[in-house]
């Protein structure tokens, strides 16, 4: 019997209509377009506007895009995983709601939270289920409404983050395509440098925590940047050395879109030129759990069956990792 591998068979995406430009941000905080662009590579980001709309709204739209493009049947999906750092509600799973709304009536579902590494960890999880032979179709959605947890008076974070969602369907493959190798890491030291202080079990919400703005993302930029650069580059390089790959064997680097300088440092270590690096940070900013699937959706038409892709991400926790995947279809 041939070994079952887990391949991506379809992708989808959704980004909100509202565009928050660097120019508009100049009216919120002391900054300017040149400063933001030179340090982050970001020109604009999408913001989800509208009463009562949360992460699930975008996740549903991305899933519907995937199903419509691939002519898929939601009732055939076995599992829905929503990778997110901004669930609709505490306790009530966002994934359960999304699965019901898209008609995945035969699926079980849950949320997965690993900050900016959520989708990458989700890829590992989805692939493991497929490889086990237990499930055949797994829908992995990365979605975040970062605007719901950002203080637009905090220059360290408001220029970086945006809202969006992307989806990927994982299915068994018997041609050896799909996920080939992975290396995942985490280190609890990270909670001191990137977090939301209040709202969890250590510091439940009070009037004071709200007044003191403790429900927004806090980031110690320089420290996070340093860890992200070294760790994302390390794990990406490991995918090559461990699988006897050279930069010539790699068709695409698929890096988490946190900061253009982090992406460039990772590409340099892997040894690939900019023409092999997927990038859309200038359009969407850092959409946290949605960065990797948004890249796949944006570059889908350029991908060819058999292409070697190296995924890499770094996020709060700290969490980070890399995946080596062979693309399974031509668009």
Annotated catalytic residues are 116, 256, 286
Task: Write out the two tokens for 31.
Answer: 């900054």
Q: Token match 């650069």: residue?
A: 229
Task: Encode burial over 49-65: b for 16+ CB neighbours within 10 A, e otherwise.
Answer: eeeeebbbbbbbbbbbb
Helix (H, G, I), strand (E, B) or coil at 19: strand
d(CA 72, CA 63): 10
Task: Write out the two tokens for 264.
Answer: 């460039």
Close Cβ partners of 192 (under 8 Å, ≥ 6 residues apart): 220
Task: Encode burial over 282-302: b for 16+ CB neighbours within 10 A, e otherwise.
Answer: ebbbbbbbbbbbbbbbbbbee
Give the closest residue to 112 by CA, choosing from 90, 84, 138, 78: 84
Angle at 149 between CA 235 and CA 24, to 5 degrees: 100
d(CA 83, CA 98): 12
Are the C-beta atoms of 133 and 117 separated by less than 8 Å?
no
**Longest pairwise C-alpha distance within the chain:** 62
Are the C-beta atoms of 172 and 4 separated by less than 8 Å?
yes
Give the closest residue to 125 by CA, choosing from 143, 112, 115: 112
Close Cβ partners of 330 (under 8 Å, ≥ 6 residues apart): 303, 304, 305
Q: Token match 């947890």: residue?
A: 149
């Amino acid at each position: 019997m041939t070994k079952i591998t887990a391949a991506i068979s379809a992708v989808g995406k959704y980004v909100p209509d509202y565009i928050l430009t660097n120019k508009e941000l100049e009216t919120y905080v002391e900054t300017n377009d040149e400063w933001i662009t030179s340090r982050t590579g970001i020109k604009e980001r999408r913001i989800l506007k509208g009463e009562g709309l949360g992460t699930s709204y975008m996740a549903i739209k991305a899933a519907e895009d995937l199903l419509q493009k691939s002519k898929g049947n939601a009732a055939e999906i076995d599992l829905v995983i929503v990778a997110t750092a901004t669930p609709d509600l505490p306790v009530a799973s966002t994934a359960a709601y999304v699965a019901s709304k898209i008609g995945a009536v035969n699926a079980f579902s849950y949320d997965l939270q690993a900050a900016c590494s959520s989708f990458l960890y989700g890829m590992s999880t989805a692939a493991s289920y497929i490889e086990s032979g237990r499930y055949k179709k797994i829908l992995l959605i990365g979605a975040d409404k970062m605007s719901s947890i950002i203080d637009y008076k905090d220059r360290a974070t408001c220029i970086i983050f945006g809202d969006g969602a992307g989806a990927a369907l994982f299915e068994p493959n018997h041609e050896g395509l799909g996920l080939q190798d992975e290396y995942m890491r985490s280190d609890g030291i990270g909670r001191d440098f990137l977090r939301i202080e209040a709202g969890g079990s250590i510091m439940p919400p009070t009037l004071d925590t709200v007044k003191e703005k403790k429900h927004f993302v806090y980031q110690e930029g320089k420290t996070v940047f340093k860890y992200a650069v070294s760790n994302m580059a390390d794990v990406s390089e490991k995918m090559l050395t461990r699988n006897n790959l050279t930069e010539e064997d790699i068709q695409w680097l698929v890096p988490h879109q946190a900061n253009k300088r982090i992406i460039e440092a990772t590409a340099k270590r892997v040894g690939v030129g900019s023409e092999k690096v997927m990038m859309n940070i200038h359009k969407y900013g850092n959409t946290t759990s949605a960065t990797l699937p948004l890249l796949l959706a944006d570059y889908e038409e350029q991908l060819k069956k058999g292409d070697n892709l190296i995924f890499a991400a770094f996020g709060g926790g700290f969490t980070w990792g890399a995946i080596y995947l062979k693309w399974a279809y031509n668009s």
